């Protein structure tokens, strides 16, 4: 069976997200989510948009929230 480029890219995006979910929050997980975004963008370039984008966006939002640096309280009296 022949897989279209868009279908292959969607499959690879799903695979990246699945692998990302096996890692704790951090750089490795972020890189895998970013890879999924690239695969998804490529699938869209072939004109086949899918709901996968919602999963990627919510995963990215969670990752970004967890990576926000909290300001230090330097008020030492």
pLDDT tens digits, 43-57: 888 765 555 555 555
* Per-residue pLDDT, 4: 87
For residues 33 and 60, the answer to whether their CB atoms sit within 8 Å is yes
* Per-residue pLDDT, 72: 61
Weakest mean pLDDT among 21-30, 44-53, 59-68: 59-68
* Per-residue pLDDT, 75: 57
Quick count: other Cβ atoms within 10 Å of Cβ 74?
Answer: 5
SS3 7: helix
* Per-residue pLDDT, 3: 86
Query: Cα(1)–Cα(39) distance, rounded to whole angstroms?
Result: 21
**pLDDT above 90 for 12:** yes
Of 18, 67, 61, 22, which Cα lies nearest the Cα of 39? 18
- This prediction has a pTM of 0.60
């Amino acid at each position: 069976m022949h897989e279209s480029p868009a279908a292959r890219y969607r499959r690879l995006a799903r695979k990246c997200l699945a692998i990302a979910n096996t890692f704790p929050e951090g750089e490795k997980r972020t890189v895998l989510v970013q890879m999924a975004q690239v695969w998804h963008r490529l699938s869209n370039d072939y004109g086949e948009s899918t709901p996968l984008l919602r999963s990627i966006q919510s995963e990215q939002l969670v990752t970004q929230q967890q990576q926000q640096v909290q300001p230090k309280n330097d008020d030492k009296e």
